Structure 1
Amino acid sequence: MRDYQKYAVVVSTFAAVLYLSLIVAGFGMISLITDREVIDEPLAGPVLGPVMVGVPVVLVFALMVKLGITTRPERQRVALGYAIGSGFAAAATFIVVGAAGLALEGGDPMAFAGSLLISPFAASTGVFGAIVVLSYSLILATQQGQRGRPLWPWESRDDG
């Protein structure tokens, strides 16, 4: 694995943790402001919510790693379309995993998917995913050609 690929994997790991943190904080704030439960379904067990969040986080992580390791540093660009597509994929994954999990519990998956589709929780999952992937691509695009640790503006590469 080349250095730029190692760098991309490390940054994508931190970005995935950021994404998870944004989802947890966002869900908490949305739930507090709207006085609404994230999963308002009595048949949903205690595992469904974490799985519904975990799968989109893994998906976004995999999409970031793919973007980072398949694109050489000199070809890195800010990937706006890729970020928007990743956000839609994360929101869709959140809904599909929720519907499938509720179907396993014996509930109505179509009604649950419909309620998730219009919920602010699915939208925030997608928006946060797009923001994180866009930020990740921006970080990779600005690091092209750099070697070693980041430097302060008053430092130079020639300093020992």
Structure 2
Amino acid sequence: MGYHSVRLRRSSVLGFALLLVAAVVGAVVLTGQQQLALPAWSLFNKGIPGGEEQQRIEFLQKHGWEAELPAVATEEVTIPAEWDETYEQYAALQQAQGFNLDKLRGKTATEYTYHITNYPEKDNVVAHILVYKDKIVAADLSDMEQGGFCDAVIAG
């Protein structure tokens, strides 16, 4: 069995390199002009900043929600180590948005509650944003009336 060598001309290599650079630059320019809405799970490793109130408000605004300042409530909450059926459903809602609460079982986080001012036909809707180590790790919209709902912040 013999080996064959391939000789590439310098102009071919340079042409390919220029084409590759043009493709990368084109992709950067296109994505720079059009804001991509990445799913939360794609950002989870870096995390979605949420340690500052402005970051939490920007998160809500990015997903189409307007909130009244300041937060209606701020409290320390512990994510249960053992989940009942209700918390399993809540964790599934978070998973659908790209958040993974399973990694945070038994951890203490801060829950910020904001009054949402632009929810259609409802006045008593709040957003709960759960922050752990200055990163948003969960978020929901809740109707505070009896028999209300708990829904995703991130439309999906």
Q: Normalising by structure 1, report the TM-score.
A: 0.23
Q: Normalising by structure 2, report the TM-score.
A: 0.23
Higher helix proportion, which one? 1
Higher strand proportion, which one? 2
Structure with higher RCO (Cα < 8 A, 6+ apart) = 1
